[in-house]
Amino acid sequence: MNIFRLLGDLSHLLAIIILLLKIWKTRSCAGISGKSQILFAIVYTTRYLDLFTTFISAYNTFMKIIFIATSLATVFLMYVKFKATYDHNHDTFRIEFLILPAFVLALLINHELSPVEVLWTFSIYLESVAILPQLFLVSKTGEAESITSHYLFALGSYRGLYLFNWIYRYYAEDHYDLIAIVAGLVQTVLYCDFFYLYITKVLKGKKLQLPA
């Protein structure tokens, strides 16, 4: 464990808390893509299957359980409890266009052709693009509430911080995992446009509004 990884995990946890609090306090999931949340729920449930086979640390197990539970809880809040507030007219991204290619790629490029390993790889590939429906929703409505922007910033920072963790581990531990690194790079790059808008607008107190 190094500082980048810890900050990355905390940033990820913060993003989830921001999102759940936003939905709970406002009793609304307006502006949030249910499609992205479904993808995240698939990502964590397929990645953390090793909960049953491998023990790494209490921290690792605890975080995995939290990520699975909160992603499922978010989907439940959006599609059951606060269904009436869900923006389904704007949330039209076809997630099968992300799920199927991620799965095929995981079958082709992986560390080992075993079910658990292929599912881990699939989850890494899928996570890298899972935010696309959310970014698509923001671009369709042309704006995002500040709280949604904070959520996106924390969520984007998480994989960005992991990139530093991987650089650190490469030098300090001689450890690297190309699949995670390349997917993490793609994932972070997808947020760059949003990061720019967040820093130039949201941090200066303005609403995130896209040019018409």
Partner 1 sequence: TIFEAPHDEL
User: Residues interacting with partner 1, by CB under 8 A?
Assistant: 5, 9, 12, 50, 53-54, 56, 60, 63-64, 67, 111-112, 117, 120, 162, 165, 174-180
Concatenate the DSSP letters of all residues of 180-210 into one string.
HHHHHHHHHHHHHHHHHHHHHTGGGT--EE-
Residue recorded with tokens 């893509």: 33
To partner 1, the closest distance from the beta carbon of 166 in angstroms equals 9
Between 128 and 165, CB nearer to partner 1: 165
Tokens found for residue 71 = 């992603």
User: Which residue, chain included where needed, has tokens 């953390």?
Assistant: 48
Q: In the complex, what is the shortest distance from the CB of residue 9 to partner 1, in angstroms, rounded to a whole number?
A: 6
Query: Closest CB to partner 1 among 87 and 177?
Result: 177
CB of 183 to partner 1, least distance (A): 12
Cβ pair 210, 149 in contact under 8 A: no
Cβ 124 vs Cβ 183: under 8 Å: yes
Contacts of 79 (CB under 8 A, 6+ apart): 34, 86
Q: Which is nearer to partner 1, 137 or 169 (CB)?
A: 169
- To partner 1, the closest distance from the beta carbon of 86 in angstroms equals 28
Decide whether 42 or 180 has the Cβ nearer to partner 1: 180
- Measured from the CB atom, the residue of 116 and 210 that comes closer to partner 1 is 116
Least CB distance to partner 1 at residue 18 (A) = 18
Cα separation of 174 and 39, whole Å? 32
Q: Are strands 143-144 and 208-209 parallel, antiparallel or unpaired?
A: antiparallel
